[in-house]
């Protein structure tokens, strides 16, 4: 399943290793998670501005709520923004039904 949240033990271990100065690659290898996942959670940790001491004291439920609440992104393409860019930048927009779909990419529409 895509975007499944990681185990809180692994998250704590990744943040602890990051605090101790380890790189993303070594954290990923040690914890058994991908580098992209490590980067995602480290960026969230830095954006939240929370100290390691606070993370250490949180129970699993509070930590899960903190990190999942901030990871939900419901406005990837707000109000068809990508669609607007496609239509205005292409000469091929005359009457194609594909242009009406939200999030249609330029290369898909030109085929």
Question: In whole angstroms, what is the distance from residue 34 CA to residue 42 CA?
Answer: 12
Q: How confident is the model at residue 1, as a pLDDT?
A: 47
**pLDDT tens-place values along the chain, 111 residues long:** 467 788 999 999 999 999 999 999 999 999 999 999 999 999 998 888 888 889 889 998 998 888 887 544 545 555 545 554 444 555 555 555 555 666 665 554 444
DSSP 12-58: HHHHHHHHTT--HHHHHHHHT--HHHHHHHHHHHHHHT--HHHHHHS
Structure-token match 């605090």, residue found: 19
Q: How confident is the model at residue 69, as a pLDDT?
A: 72
């Amino acid at each position: 399943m895509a975007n499944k949240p990681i185990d809180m033990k692994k998250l704590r271990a990744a943040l602890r290793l990051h605090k101790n100065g380890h790189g993303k690659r070594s954290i990923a290898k040690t914890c058994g998670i991908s580098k992209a996942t490590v980067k995602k959670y480290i960026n969230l940790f830095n954006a939240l501005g929370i100290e390691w001491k606070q993370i250490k004291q949180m129970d699993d439920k509070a930590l899960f709520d903190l990190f999942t609440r901030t990871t939900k992104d419901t406005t990837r393409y707000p109000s068809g923004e990508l669609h607007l860019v496609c239509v205005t930048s292409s000469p091929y927009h005359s009457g194609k039904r594909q242009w009406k779909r939200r999030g249609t990419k330029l290369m898909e529409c030109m085929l």
